[in-house]
A = this chain, B = another copy of it.
């Protein structure tokens, strides 16, 4: 499938991958020690708990917060809920509603372990089966309708209003979009709860809520039938509610999720223990739901220089791969990210860009790579911007990228207008069809700029990963190894939501997922 345009030194690639595996294993060991409020809220959601109390607080928060306050969360929310179900003879949802009215879970008498274990045995498989149902539904739909040809054309909608988003998404699908991402409103990632219900007010994006997921998935199901192509839906499994959103997305049949092991730490200043724990559980859910994740390496290049820092993108790809595999994701689910952010004024910038894109392509031949468009160097000159996007489209088709986030000519101006998206889709269609087989037509000179640049990056990535291994990933992040940003181990948001697991801790969803995903203890 992948054209071998470059000659890679497989030994070095293997070495880099081994280093990343070792780095990931070290992180993984620490992940196992902690749980987080969001992991526990996810468990609550998987028990079927949804809705808000009379103050508008989501019930998963209500139950988890009260247990946290009572100091009982190191046992895991599952125990407390199951215990309450037995004690009160109510469904978990009814229990949570009661909590909303004042009930305190920790004040209920402990029940017969056999009984609450039975409750877990009832609810846990039910939840996971529901997720698997959606997976089968997706697979059947993909099978029946197809998904468009790679590079898949991925566009964003971001009106702030889910119903307006639906209109924009449908129009995009009708004009060739294969994948629709609903961008989140500014700052949602820092909310330590997931808002409830359909929403119409957002700045620069639309709230990620389960109801909004459902509205959009249904609209896309309709338009999929109309256009004869299964249109995939994306949202953000990221921020302080990462695993909850994974659960919501799995249940509402989202198809892809932005989901990165380090993004929250670096770009949202979220505590690293929180993030590492959250990403692990969220990825297990994504893995089991058959969802493709999109990692966020493109973000490195919005502040750092794409030429100078190319190797950090690749290093992060390696780490995301290993942490992803550790969470049960398969290679076809690893939409590792990178971006076309080379300075347009750089002579031969296109060659350097192709070198990186092709290197990543060959190193991760089975991964559905996600290629991000020019953003940083886009200006108000929409005409030039459209050309920058054309070159990006070309780089993508030459190097055989999988998921192609379309650049918008108005990137520097506003979230896309309805026509912007259509213009971009037409740009991509033209360039990609016009140069469809160029990647299989050419080869690069052995001593050429592109090959040399590729070799340089691979060399640098090995060095870089060696240093990271030395420091430990947490140490490296603290030392500013990625995106020039230093994040101390003990700093960052959401740190008080990290709880050391008690000896009696249990999360039966995680345990069951491990089993179903075939992950050893």
Mark A residues whose CB is within 8 Å of B.
342, 344-351, 381-384, 386-388, 390-391, 394, 409, 423, 426-427, 430-431, 433-438, 440-445, 448-450
Instruction: Establish whether residues B350 and A427, one from each chain, have CB atoms under 8 Å apart when the complex forms.
Output: no
Instruction: Establish whether residues B437 and A384, one from each chain, have CB atoms under 8 Å apart when the complex forms.
Output: no
Instruction: Establish whether residues A387 and B384, one from each chain, have CB atoms under 8 Å apart when the complex forms.
Output: no
**Residues of B with C-beta under 8 A to A437:** 348, 351, 449
**Residues of B with C-beta under 8 A to A347:** 433-434, 436
**Residues of B with C-beta under 8 A to A449:** 437, 441
Contact of A438 among B345, B350, B390 (CB under 8 A): B350
Instruction: Establish whether residues A383 and B441, one from each chain, have CB atoms under 8 Å apart when the complex forms.
Output: no
User: What is the CA–CA distance of A449 and B390 in the complex, to the nearest angstrom?
Assistant: 22
**Residues of B with C-beta under 8 A to A345:** 433
**Residues of B with C-beta under 8 A to A423:** 383-384
Contact of A427 among B383, B430, B436 (CB under 8 A): B383
**Residues of B with C-beta under 8 A to A430:** 344, 384, 387-388, 391
**Residues of B with C-beta under 8 A to A434:** 342, 344, 346-350, 391
Distance in Å: Cβ of A400 to nearest Cβ of chain B: 15
User: What is the CA–CA distance of A442 and B441 in the complex, to the nearest angstrom?
Assistant: 10
**Residues of B with C-beta under 8 A to A386:** 383, 386-387
Interface centre among A346, A387, A449, by most chain B C-beta atoms within 10 angstroms, is A387
Distance in Å: Cβ of A383 to nearest Cβ of chain B: 5
**Residues of B with C-beta under 8 A to A394:** 391, 394
Distance in Å: Cβ of A348 to nearest Cβ of chain B: 5
**Residues of B with C-beta under 8 A to A440:** 445, 448
User: What is the CA–CA distance of A441 and B384 in the complex, to the nearest angstrom?
Assistant: 25
User: What number of copies of this chain does the assembly contain?
Assistant: 2
Interface of A is mostly: helix
**Residues of B with C-beta under 8 A to A346:** 434
Interface centre among A345, A382, A386, A426, by most chain B C-beta atoms within 10 angstroms, is A386
Given A348-B436, A384-B427, A441-B450, 19 extra CB contacts under 8 A: A342-B434, A344-B430, A347-B433, A349-B434, A351-B437, A351-B438, A383-B383, A383-B386, A383-B409, A383-B423, A383-B426, A384-B426, A387-B387, A441-B448, A441-B449, A442-B443, A442-B445, A442-B448, A443-B445
**Residues of B with C-beta under 8 A to A384:** 423, 426-427, 430
User: What is the CA–CA distance of A382 and B383 in the complex, to the nearest angstrom?
Assistant: 9
Interface centre among A342, A382, A384, A440, by most chain B C-beta atoms within 10 angstroms, is A384
Distance in Å: Cβ of A49 to nearest Cβ of chain B: 49
A441-B441 in contact given A384-B423, A386-B383, A391-B434 (Cβ < 8 Å): no
User: What is the CA–CA distance of A388 and B431 in the complex, to the nearest angstrom?
Assistant: 8
User: What is the CA–CA distance of A346 and B432 in the complex, to the nearest angstrom?
Assistant: 11
**Residues of B with C-beta under 8 A to A348:** 433-438
**Residues of B with C-beta under 8 A to A382:** 383
Instruction: Establish whether residues B435 and A351, one from each chain, have CB atoms under 8 Å apart when the complex forms.
Output: yes
A-B CB proximity, top 6 nearest:
A350-B434, A350-B435, A442-B442, A441-B448, A387-B390, A390-B390
Instruction: Establish whether residues A391 and B390, one from each chain, have CB atoms under 8 Å apart when the complex forms.
Output: yes
User: What is the CA–CA distance of A371 and B236 in the complex, to the nearest angstrom?
Assistant: 47
Instruction: Establish whether residues A391 and B436, one from each chain, have CB atoms under 8 Å apart when the complex forms.
Output: no
List, sorted by A's number, 15 A–B pairs whose CB atoms are closer than 8 Å. Answer: A348-B438, A351-B437, A351-B438, A351-B441, A384-B423, A386-B387, A387-B431, A391-B434, A391-B435, A437-B449, A440-B445, A440-B448, A441-B445, A441-B448, A442-B444
User: What is the CA–CA distance of A348 and B397 in the complex, to the nearest angstrom?
Assistant: 12
User: What is the CA–CA distance of A111 and B338 in the complex, to the nearest angstrom?
Assistant: 87
User: What is the CA–CA distance of A342 and B435 in the complex, to the nearest angstrom?
Assistant: 12
User: What is the CA–CA distance of A346 and B443 in the complex, to the nearest angstrom?
Assistant: 23
Instruction: Establish whether residues A387 and B441, one from each chain, have CB atoms under 8 Å apart when the complex forms.
Output: no
Query: A387: nearest residue on chain B (CB-CB)?
Result: B390
Interface centre among A381, A384, A434, A449, by most chain B C-beta atoms within 10 angstroms, is A434
User: What is the CA–CA distance of A435 and B441 in the complex, to the nearest angstrom?
Assistant: 17
Distance in Å: Cβ of A34 to nearest Cβ of chain B: 47
**Residues of B with C-beta under 8 A to A444:** 441-442
Query: A409: nearest residue on chain B (CB-CB)?
Result: B383
User: What is the CA–CA distance of A40 and B431 in the complex, to the nearest angstrom?
Assistant: 52
Distance in Å: Cβ of A211 to nearest Cβ of chain B: 36
User: What is the CA–CA distance of A445 and B5 in the complex, to the nearest angstrom?
Assistant: 11
